[in-house]
């Protein structure tokens, strides 16, 4: 209780002392100029009464103004944070969008090059997604996208990042992970998607994914990294889909 009241008491005292001193100076000047004729004791009492009367409202006025300014600043910061979040978030799946996952990848590359740690990426593509849209409609296709995104999020580890890279493609960024470990993670994802029952409007849809994976090579450009992971994914699709190709 005392801890909460102490700042209030100190501030009230500070405001009261300020008013008290200011009133004394004003009255002394007026006495010296002959505008009023008062004794020193009267001046002191006058200043004391004025300080006691004006200190509380002055304090609460200042406190209200500061609190309002603080609340406005918090609201502005929250809006800026929300705008920044929206700028890197896919509106449908609520995971990172293409811009957001690229930022995450660049950050992971910087860490990998600085500390010489392994870093891998994987590109997950939903097989025959156009057929899902054509057969069941785009609303069902959106549900499949959201469900796959949720499965990926649940399967990945805490340090990993994942984002929607294209229409039905998701890019995974896997720090501290070599190609062998990436293959294990990708296989786990592939099996989980295949074994999941996707139901929409009473229909049960069999969904599979193809995954291409590769390990970042220190010093290489993004074009080289994306070129290799694209080729790995293409090989998985050409080899029959529902496959993982890590190279």
* Residues annotated as catalytic (active site), given as ranges: 168
Residue 144 has which token pair?
A: 């499949």
CB 245 within 8 A of CB 239: yes
Residues pairing with 72 in the sheet? none
d(CA 71, CA 221): 45
Residue 215 has which token pair?
A: 């390990």
- Report residue 52 CA to chain centroid gap: 48
- Strand 209-215 with 244-246, pairing: parallel
Enumerate the H helices of 34-97 as residue ranges.
Answer: 40-87
**3-class SS of residue 31:** helix
d(CA 224, CA 142): 31
Enumerate the H helices of the chain as residue ranges.
Answer: 2-33, 40-87, 98-115, 129-136, 138-155, 179-195, 222-238
Query: Which letter does DSSP use for residue 37 in this model?
Result: -
- Report residue 22 CA to chain centroid gap: 50
């Amino acid at each position: 209780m005392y801890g909460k009241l102490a700042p209030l008491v100190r501030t009230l005292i500070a405001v009261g002392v300020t008013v008290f001193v200011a009133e004394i100076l004003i009255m002394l000047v007026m006495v010296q100029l002959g505008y009023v004729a008062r004794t020193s004791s009267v001046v002191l009492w006058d200043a004391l009464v004025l300080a006691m009367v004006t200190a509380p409202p002055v304090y609460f006025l200042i406190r209200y103004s500061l609190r309002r300014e603080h609340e406005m600043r918090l609201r502005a910061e929250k809006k800026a944070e929300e705008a920044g979040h929206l700028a890197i978030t896919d509106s449908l799946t609520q995971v990172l969008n293409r811009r957001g996952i690229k930022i995450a990848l660049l950050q992971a590359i910087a860490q990998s090059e600085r500390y010489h740690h392994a870093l891998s990426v994987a590109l997950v593509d939903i097989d025959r997604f156009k057929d899902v849209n054509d057969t069941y409609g785009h609303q069902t296709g959106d549900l499949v996208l959201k469900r796959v995104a949720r499965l990926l999020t649940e399967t990945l580890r805490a340090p990993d990042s994942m984002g929607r890279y294209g229409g039905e493609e998701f890019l995974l960024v896997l720090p501290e992970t070599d190609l062998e470990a990436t293959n294990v993670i990708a296989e786990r994802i592939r099996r989980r998607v295949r074994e999941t029952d996707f139901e929409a409007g009473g229909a049960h849809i069999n969904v599979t994914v193809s995954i291409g994976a590769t390990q970042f090579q220190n010093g290489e450009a993004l074009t080289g990294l994306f070129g290799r992971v694209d080729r790995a994914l293409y090989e998985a699709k050409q080899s029959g889909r529902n496959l993982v190709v890590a190279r």
